[in-house]
Amino acid sequence: MTPASHPSASALPEGADRGAEVLRVEDLVKHFPVAAGLLRRRGSAVQAVDGVTFSLATGETLGLVGESGCGKSTVARLIVRLLDPTAGRVLYRGRDIAACGRRQLRDVRRELQIVFQDPYGSLNPRRTVHEIVAQPLRVHGEYRGGEGRRRVDETLEKVGLRPGDGDRLPHEFSGGQRQRIGIARALVLGPRVLVLDEPVSALDVSIQAQVLNLLRELQSELGLAYLLIAHDLAVVRHLCDRVAVMYLGRIVEIGASRAVYTRPLHPYTQALLSAVPVPDPAQRDRPRRIVLGGDVPDPANPPSGCRFRTRCWKAAGRCAAQDPALVDRFGHGHPSACFFAEVPAAPTTVGLPP
Amino acid sequence: MTDRGGGSAPAGQPVLRIRDLVVEFDTPDGVVRAVDGVSYDVAGGETLGVVGESGCGKTVTVLAVLGLLPRRSARVVRGEALLGGMDLLRLPPRRLRAVRGKRVAMVFQNPMTSLHPALTVRHQIAEALRAHDRGLPRHAARRRAVELLDAVGVADAARRARGYPHQWSGGMRQRAMIAMAIANEPDLLIADEPTTALDVTIQAQVLDLLREVRGRTGAATILITHDLGVIAEMADRVVVVYAGRVVETGDVHTIFHAPRHPYTLGLLAALPRLDTDRQSLAAIPGQPPDLVRRPSGCAFHPRCGLHRGRNRCVAQSPDLATVGPGHRAACHYADELAAETARAAGMSAAEPGDGPGAPA
């Protein structure tokens, strides 16, 4: 494999300017109604996503990070419209996906595809790899004889599989190879945007690195934009140009990867980064590790005001009364949603090149 | 918990010695040798990190020691697991049951499957206490259960203990498992991927708790994980397992900064890091071996950058040989790695004290 170059060297699809906005999410809300029961008021809802706004540019990778229940995977499903939003818009090149009819949605899906976490559950075990990868072409009426076969073989090759692998069944492959099949299926229609939902979290370290390298290579070769949903902060740092940190259905901080990782402004981001075990025993007694107390609150009954305040060491009366807006508080192009956001005195992650 | 459990071995003395353990499974594809001559020790007060990828045999080793392998398909072919003077592998099931939960306790990855869903948390911990102390009255066991939950940081333990596992969050359940594990003041705590199912901020809480428990009980700990970050944070010594064999073992600093097995070095290089914008990762090529068709010689040779077509790697399985003080590696060409690891160590060298986190 050739070393991946930075996405700025991308071969972009025709008619696409690098840096042009390709996907935009505006005030996205998804509430799941909870069945009325003894313990819950009638009409209560799990506020899985509650007012999320961001945009994604051509050739760019945006990471969406946060812990379980923060709503990141729901955002992924709303974007590819596996779920309908309660409110808000998902604009793919200016067109609102939530308002699309079937036919328009099909056009959008050609260009906007998703790769799922579980390389075991997301591939039909009775179909050959060729059939699995050909399926999107058939749905779009583009699988025609020799031409269709050739496109599938080309795509398999692109993700590092051999054309001969097309005749085999998914169970004959290891986890890493299966994830390549999932990526091939997402690529075969020639999309511009891939939503990657925890694409490597089921894989072992040595295999994870192969898939991460593949994703980088494909991006620079095809000029793809990625929305990466992941809980592993090191994986996100490795792949992303920008990062959005989510907590209980909201974005608490968004900015350039390097800025968020070295100068996190929101207390939650600071705690999250400091909690990641560092694979270097020389740093185990590093100071300023923040261990948060308690658990994430129930998303059906989130705290008033700032949702992080129940675990926050900076919380004051104001935090319960008012909702802090996600705004660029320091003019660095790095918005945060905290009244007490602070630029850390020193870079917070270790080992940065001077 | 009070101070150290009465049964704990003095620090530094091996609590458990595993010797030349071989475990085989019958599968539809043939016999799989999942553990192929594993030996290691763990001493009182020490945390031994056991690291390796899925299917490498790191969990099967301890399941064999505890007599928890599926009897139908698995068998211990040979080996010893000495706890004090007792060989656990040759203990009758009844006596082994008396050891499990008393002298040796376990914490598994998924607390939801280890806790009974229809019994209160308090009841389960109380029963764990009474299982090994029949004379303990029920009400005293319950009181002790609440004390233990309190000791592992469950807030409002008396009230919450009357709840059922599904009413507890993942982090709280793992605390309950740890409370249950330390209930009888074991000599040895085996934690198998104890934080893998948890979010990172909750993982930090549970790792802190495990550290605290170790300090308080003086128990020996075997920490099994695929996460090199967790190993670096917790372990005193490390055992690296590949294809059913120990390929390297040594002090945690040596393993991370001067590894002498190409697989260990490969794992470290393949890791995306929080602290660098590295462009491309040094992935280990190929796939982990299919143990039904284990590669000849050194099982790592098909993926190894050091092999370079040399016949010895294909023909002869390398023994675990001493390469430094307390440091052993199973590679014919371990000496060739010295230069490479020096370079890698230089790359990842960082000033301690410049740590992550934020002004609190």
Cβ separation of A350 and B354 shorter than 8 Å? yes
Q: Is the pLDDT of residue A354 over 50?
A: no
- B349 versus B167: which is more confidently predicted? B167
Specify the range with the lowest mean pLDDT, choosing from A118-127, A133-142, B126-135: A118-127
Q: What is the pLDDT of residue B3?
A: 40
The answer to whether residue A129 scores a pLDDT higher than 90 is yes
Those residues whose C-beta lies under 8 Å from the C-beta of residue A274, and which sit 6 or more positions away, are: A288, A289, A290, A348, B356, B357, B358
pLDDT of A288 strictly over 70? no
pLDDT in tens, B58-76: 999 999 999 999 989 999 9
Q: Which range has the worst mean pLDDT, A58-62, B173-177, B318-322?
A: B173-177
Output B293-296 pairs: Cβ under 8 A, ≥24 positions apart: B294/B33, B294/B243
Banded model confidence at residue B341, pLDDT cuts 50, 70, 90: low
Could you say which of A6, A209, A271 has the minimum Cβ distance to residue B270?
A209
* Residues from chain B contacting residue A206 (CB–CB below 8 Å): 53, 266-267, 270, 283-284, 288, 303
Choice among A39-43, A72-76, B285-289 with the minimum mean pLDDT: A39-43
Distance (Å) from the C-alpha of residue B282 to the closest C-alpha of chain A?
7
Segment B161-184 shows an average pLDDT of 89
Q: Hey, what domains does chain B have and what are their CATH numbers?
A: 14-235 (3.40.50.300), 242-270+283-348 (no CATH)
Alpha-carbon Rg for chain A in angstroms = 21
Sole residue written with tokens 């976490």: A117
Residue ranges of chain A that CATH labels 3.40.50.300: 21-37+48-240
A207 touching B, CB under 8 A? Answer: yes
The reported pLDDT for the residue numbered A117 is 82
| Record: contact A209-B358, CB cut-off 8 A | no
B198-214 mean pLDDT: 88
- Average pLDDT score over chain A: 87
Least confident of A159-163, B114-118, B213-217, B343-347: B343-347
Name the residue in chain A with its Cα closest to that of B357.
A274
**Residue B333, pLDDT above cutoff 50:** yes
Convert the pLDDT of each residue in A104-125 to its tens digit: 999 999 999 999 887 777 889 9
Encoded tokens for B250: 């040594």
pLDDT value at residue A308: 96
In this complex, the residue of B202, B252, B281 whose CB is nearest that of residue A209 is B281
Confidence of residue A18 (pLDDT cuts 50, 70, 90): low
Q: What is the mean pLDDT of chain B?
A: 87
HEC sequence for chain A = CCCCCCHHHCCCCCCCCCCCEEEEEEEEEEEEECCCCCCCCCCCEEEEEEEEEEEEECCCEEEEECCCCCCHHHHHHHHCCCCCCCEEEEEECCEEHHHCCHHHHHHHHHHEEEECCCCCCCCCCCCCHHHHHHHHHHHCCCCCHHHHHHHHHHHHHHCCCCHHHHHCCHHHCCHHHHHHHHHHHHHCCCCCEEEEECCCCCCCHHHHHHHHHHHHHHHHHHCCEEEEEECCHHHHHHHCCEEEEEECCEEEEEEEHHHHHHCCCCHHHHHHHHHCCCCCHHHCCCCCCCCCCCCCCCCCCCCCCCCCHHHCCCCCHHHHHCCCCCECCCCCCCCECCCCCCCCCCCCCCCCCC
Q: Mind spelling out the 3-state secondary structure of chain B?
A: CCCCCCCCCCECCEEEEEEEEEEEEEECCEEEEEEEEEEEEEEECCEEEEECCCCCCHHHHHHHHCCCCCCCCEEEEEEEEEECCEEHHHCCHHHHHHHECCCEEEECCCHHHHCCCCCCHHHHHHHHHHHCCCCCCHHHHHHHHHHHHHHCCCCCHHHHCCCCHHHCCHHHHHHHHHHHHHCCCCCEEEEECCCCCCCHHHHHHHHHHHHHHHHHHCCEEEEEECCHHHHHHHCCEEEEEECCEEEEEEEHHHHHHCCCCHHHHHHHHHCCCCCCCCCCCCCCCCCCCCHHHCCCCCCCHHHCCCCCCCHHHHHCCCCCEEEECCEEECCCCHHHHHHHHHHHHHHHCCCCCCCCCCCC
State the pLDDT confidence band at A351, using cuts at 50, 70 and 90.
very low
| Superfamily (CATH H level) for A21-37+48-240 | P-loop containing nucleotide triphosphate hydrolases (3.40.50.300)
Q: What is the structure's pLDDT at A12?
A: 52
Nearest CB to A295: which of B169, B282, B360? B169
For chain B, say whether A267 makes contact (Cβ under 8 Å): yes
Higher pLDDT, residue B133 or A168: A168
A281/B53 CB distance under 8 A: no
Which ipTM did the prediction report? Answer: 0.84
The distance of B89 to chain A (nearest Cα, Å) reads: 30
Nearest-CB residue to A4 (from B267, B280, B353): B280
A218: pLDDT confidence band, cut at 50, 70 and 90? Answer: very high
Q: Using CA coordinates, name the residue in chain B closest to A235.
A: B272
Nearest to B256 among A280, A289, A292 (CB): A280
pLDDT higher than 70, residue B212:
yes
What is the average pLDDT across A67-85? 92
Residue A40 has pLDDT above 80, yes or no: no
Q: What is the pLDDT of residue A43?
A: 62
Inspect the interface and report whether the beta carbons of A273 and B274 lie closer than 8 Å. yes
CA distance B350 to chain A (A): 5
CB contact under 8 A, A283 and B357: no
* pLDDT at position B23: 97
pLDDT of residue B244: 96
Identify the pLDDT of residue B5: 39
